[in-house]
Every structure is written in C-alpha cells, then in structure tokens.
Amino acid sequence: MAQIRVNDLTFAYEGSFDNIFEHATFSIDTNWKLGFIGRNGKGKTTFLRLLSGNENYTYTGTIDSPAVFDYFPYPISAEDRARPASAFAQTLKSGVEEWQIICELNLLDTDPEILYRPFSTLSFGEQTKVMLAILFSRENDFLLIDEPTNHLDQKGRDSVKAYLSGKKGFILVSHDRDLLDACTDHVLVLNRQTIEVQSGNFSSWQENKRKKDQFAQAENEKHQKEIAKLKSAAGQAKRWADKSEASKIGFDPIKDPGHGGKRAYIGAKTKKMQSRVKQIEKRIEQEISQKEGLLNDIETPVPLKIMPLTHEKKILVSAENYGFQYPGAKAPLFQNLNFTIQTGDRIILQGANGCGKSTLIQTLLHHLEKNPSPTSTVPLTTTNPPGTQKPPLPQNPAATPSNPATPTPPTEWGTLRTAASLIVSYVSQDTSFLQGKLKTFSNQHNLSEPLFYALLRQLDLEREQFQKPMEEFSEGQKKKVLIAASLLTPAHLYIWDEPLNYIDIFSRMQIETLIQTYRPTMLIVEHDQRFAQTIATKTLKL
C-alpha cells in the first residue's frame, strides 16, 4: 500500500486557452478501487496519461508515486493484430508468463484458446478480456483502466464487472453507473471547478453530492437575502446621511450665531451615518466573499428538447419471419424475426456482440431511397414487393484484403415493411467520419447553426471547442455532435446505434430525462443497463 500524491498540478494542451488542471492537489491510495468521474473533455484520460509518464505532456507541479503504472487499452499495432496475443503479450507487459494470463482468463470465465487465435478475429469482448488478463497478470502494478466496457454486450459487461469487483489497485474511468457501483470503493471526481476524492461508490457519491448541492443552494439563498437586506439598509443610511448633510446649507455661524451649535451637531450626525454606511458595505463584501464558490460545482443540466413528428400510421415498421444471411455464411445471422415498431415505442435492441443488431439497423436504412448520412433526414420506404431482392445491403464484415467482400448482396427472406413517407433520424456508433469545423457540419446537414451550438452547450461542450476541428474532439464530444444533430432533426422514428459510448454520466441522465419527457418513437442499441431500464417500453432480443 502506497500513496500517490498530486501537488499543485497545472496542465494545458499546447495552443489551448484554458488549463485542463489548475493547481490541483490531492492524494490517492494504490490499494483502492478508484472510480474516476467527470464530464467529457474534463481531462480524465489526460490525467491517466500524466500518471503513466507520457513524455509528450509537460506540466507544472508534482506527481509523486512509488507505483508502477500500466494502462488499458494497450496500443496494438496492425502487425500484432494479425498475430495471436500469445505471440506479443510480453511486448505489452514485460515479464508476464502465459500461465499467468491463462489464470486471469479463467477468472474472466473465458476459454484460454482465444490467446492462440489471431487478435483481429476476436470479438470486441474477447479482445477486451485478453487485454484485461494481460493487464492484471502481474501483481503490485497500479492499473489505469480507461472505459473497458465500450462496445461490449450485456454478457461481456457482466463478466468484466464480476472480474473487476474481485480486483483492487486501479483507477477505472467509466460512465457505466452499474459498473462503478459494483467495482469501486472510492471515487475521484473532476467537478466543474474542483477535484475531490471520496470513499464509496458512484451512488453514495451521487447522494452525498445531492445533499451537498442542496446545502450550497440553501446557503446561497440565505446569503442573497442577507445581501439584499444589507444593501437596502446601506441605501437608507446613505439617503439619511445625504439629507442630513444637505440640511447644513444655509446656516452661517457669523450672521446667525444662535444656530452654530446646530450646524456642528448636524455634521457629527452625518459623519456617524456615513461611518455606518461604510460598516454595512464592509458586511456586504464579507457576505459576497462567503457566497463565492458555493455554486461552482453544482451540476444544473439544462432540459433538452426534441422535435418528433407524428405519423398518420400507428405501425411504423414491422417484420414477419424476417431473416438475413451473408453470402458464403454457414448459417443465417438471424431468422424468424417478428416485431413491430409502433408510434410511442422505445425499443431497446439487445443481443450478444456479432448477433446482427447493427446489421438489422443497416438493412432498415438500406431500404431508403438513397443512402443517408448518419444524421440526415430522409424518407424510409419499401418500394419492392415482399420477397423480391432489395437495394444493396451491408456486405460481409468478415471480408479481408486477401479475401475481399463479394459484390453479391446478402439474402433476405420474410417481410420487412415500413410506413409510407417515414422520416428517420439516425445516429451511427461510428464517429470516424467527423472532420472539419462544426459550422461546416451544421451547414452540410441543414441544421440551424445557433440552435446547434446552443444544444451542444446544453450538453456541456465548451465554447472553445466550436473553433476546433472535430478530429481533435474526444470520443464523447464527437458522440454529442451526432446526438445534437439528431435531436434537431424532426423525425417520426429515431434510430440510435450505441449512442452512449463515451458519453459522460451527467449527459446520459439529461438524455434519459429528455426521452421520458417527449417520448419519441425510438429503436436503440444500448448496453447501459440503467439507461435501458429507465427509458425502454419494449426490448427486442436477437
């Protein structure tokens, strides 16, 4: 057990106007299971990189620690991705032995044979488990774990949650509230203005913060009332002093010696009143100084708005005995699929990684009259009679450079019907296409620039980000761009594919409130269990 001490840490990216950290001082214990909480862009990943000794980062202040750090996810080269993890594990963590990794894979309830398959052929969940097994295979390291459950299905998340709950000596960056509750005993929180360390998990911290914010708001109201009273008293005393001073005018002690004493009395009274005004002004300054900082860390998410359209038909999408199979595949990706999406439904599409969730969404989108961009508004229609070949559908994802995808389209059967003139707003899980300035993006997608910027501010995107190219955004900030564009798109049906990956906890709760308030019709792929339980009216399992 050792202490990591951060003292007077100040850091800013080159060319940035604002500091990511400013005079931050705190300490943490290497025996803790530490959850790391904060808004997107507040510096969580940056802090992990500072801890791990990234040579490209220059900061002032000190970070003192006897610990050896290791970081998840590991950077894996294209060359290594073509090889099994057993062949390059020692380049990721020196001195690790294969038997140690196998022991950790057993704790992850995973067949160790995945160590001997080419890394690129593993699913997201299998890749995550291999990297976690390597990460924890040596004792006494302090581990920096950055968002381990992104892109994982529910089963994968549950196994990672169970695994991490039995470990200690790590910092876990995650926006999954269930994961933070299950796996942490302390939290490190990047508030709006301060940094705090607290014992307990996410829920205990959230309850403490709620009470602390209520107290701060009550104190702020008390100070505001006291300041108002003091200002009123100061104004009254000043008016009396001015009136008293004015009453001296007209008295001449030489011409009217009988009133000389009165003039002196008035002057003394005026001086006393002016002194009282200064005392009240000093008390006002004290009240204001006590009030300063009370509300600095309060999260006050602005209610978001959405503009859903109402369709004349109750049933917007229906599938009957629908099936899908890639060319050359031994079995259908899915079959005998029956479901309807009705006005007001909020359907969570569930299933293991690779079961076809994103493919089902893409088959819907490929029935469009033209290919949409991930946030465009386009009519979704089916012009082909049931049972006939549809326009081009997603190609086989198993294709490789040595075995390129065949142009033969996948096979569909059964029926997939959509209401006429259906307007869809789509959010892709992919953000790699986001490049250039926000202004250009909003123009390309026919968005009102002022409304787009206002909505991004409500999602806590800093104004300085508006001038940066989007390729410099964090993944969470890129997701917010797509979600904001979708919310500004009037539509009958909102299709969101893993929208919350990398999105911070506070924004997730904002989006939950939005959906509960406006009740748009939605089809969502999302593995955040708490979010799904909060907003879903139905689930569709593949």
Summarised one tens digit per residue, pLDDT across range 174-218 is 999 999 999 999 999 988 778 889 999 999 998 988 888 787 777
DSSP characters for 82-103? TSBHHHHHHHHSTT--HHHHHH
* pLDDT at residue 245, rounded to an integer: 63
On the question of pLDDT at 369 being above 90, the answer is no
Look at domain 315-541 and name its CATH class.
alpha beta
Q: What is the pLDDT of residue 438?
A: 94
Say what the pLDDT of residue 534 is.
Answer: 92
- What does the pLDDT average to over 5-22? 82
The 3 state secondary structure assigned to 411-422 is: EEEEEEEECCCE
pLDDT by residue (tens digit) across 60-101?
Answer: 999 998 889 999 999 999 999 999 999 999 999 998 999 999
Query: Which pLDDT tens digit goes with each residue over 291-335?
Result: 555 455 555 666 788 889 999 999 999 999 999 998 888 889 999
What is the residue extent of each domain of the chain?
Answer: 3-192, 209-291, 315-541
The packing angle between helices 98-107 and 85-92, to 10°, is 100
Residue type, 13: Y
3-192 matches 315-541 in fold: yes
pTM reported for the whole predicted model: 0.70
The DSSP secondary structure of 33-51, one letter per residue, reads: EEEEEE-TTSSHHHHHHHH
Which has more confidence, 384 or 312? Answer: 312
Write the DSSP symbol of residue 320. Answer: E
Amino acid occupying residue 261: G
Sign of CA dihedral 83, 89, 94, 100: negative
Overall fold of domain 3-192? Rossmann fold (3.40.50)
